[in-house]
């Protein structure tokens, strides 16, 4: 069973989904620590209630990003995790930090990468008129919101959607796909070859998400 540290900046709903999966024993991992860069991050209370140790490394106390990265890495390494999971962690991490955890640092992003990296993904998806949107779990590399893709989940974009409704539909899928991706890592079923993630498991290629689908079509 692997040990996992989760980094958050806010309420940590993806963190909560991982804690629930670990508690239900559908995730063969121990969440050994939750770290936040903001002392008011709501997810800290959730983690504490679940009996998980927490730490705060407040980015506002550091003049340089490199100093913050070093302090965060030192706090993470106290737990000696096998995997570091970014779950709504809203700080850009420097190259040295990313390389320190290469191959064991993953993130979830609220778009179907490589489309819409960065912020305001749902707003941008609506503005571009895409019909399918979603989320991506990927290994973190020094390039922001890039890196070998582990898993993606897609949802239809409906004609009546606004940012809130689309975000809610995507978030529901994030809570499903992130524990699945972490489970694959924990089970040793992921390897990276030629910049792509290879999953050691049979895959079903028969299904497709088509949007829009009109009633009776």
Q: Which of 59, 109, 138, 175 is catalytic?
A: 109
Phi, psi dihedral angles at 93 (to 5 degrees):
-100, 140
Measured CA to CA in angstroms, residue 74 lies from 62, 77, 178, 201 at distances of 14, 5, 25, 35
Tokens of 172: 């529901």
CB 55 within 8 A of CB 35: yes
- Distance CA(82)–CA(164), nearest Å, equals 35
Of the candidates 135, 37, 27, the residue with the CA atom closest to the CA atom of residue 82: 27
CB 187 within 8 A of CB 152: no
Phi, psi dihedral angles at 166 (to 5 degrees):
-65, -40
Cis peptide before 149 (omega within 30 of 0): no
Active site residue 109: yes
What is the set of active-site residues?
109
């Amino acid at each position: 069973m692997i040990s996992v540290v989760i980094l958050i900046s806010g309420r940590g709903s993806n963190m909560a989904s991982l804690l629930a999966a670990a508690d239900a024993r559908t995730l063969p991992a121990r969440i050994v620590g939750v770290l936040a860069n903001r002392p008011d991050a709501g997810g800290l209370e959730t983690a504490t209630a679940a009996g998980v140790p927490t730490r705060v490394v407040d980015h506002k106390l550091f003049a340089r990003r490199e100093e913050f990265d070093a302090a965060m890495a030192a706090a993470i390494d106290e737990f000696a995790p096998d995997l570091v999971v970014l779950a709504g962690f809203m700080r850009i991490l420097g190259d040295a930090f990313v390389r320190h955890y290469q191959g064991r640092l993953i993130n979830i992003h609220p778009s179907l990468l490589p489309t819409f990296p960065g912020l305001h993904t749902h707003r941008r998806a609506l503005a571009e008129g895409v019909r399918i949107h979603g989320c991506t779990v990927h290994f973190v590399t020094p390039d922001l919101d890039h890196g070998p893709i582990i898993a993606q989940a897609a949802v239809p974009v409906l004609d009546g959607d606004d940012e809130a409704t689309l975000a809610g539909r995507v978030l529901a899928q994030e809570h499903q796909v992130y524990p699945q991706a972490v489970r694959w890592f924990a089970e040793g079923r992921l390897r990276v070859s030629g910049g792509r993630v290879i999953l050691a498991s049979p895959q079903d290629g028969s299904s497709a998400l088509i949007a829009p689908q009109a009633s009776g079509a």
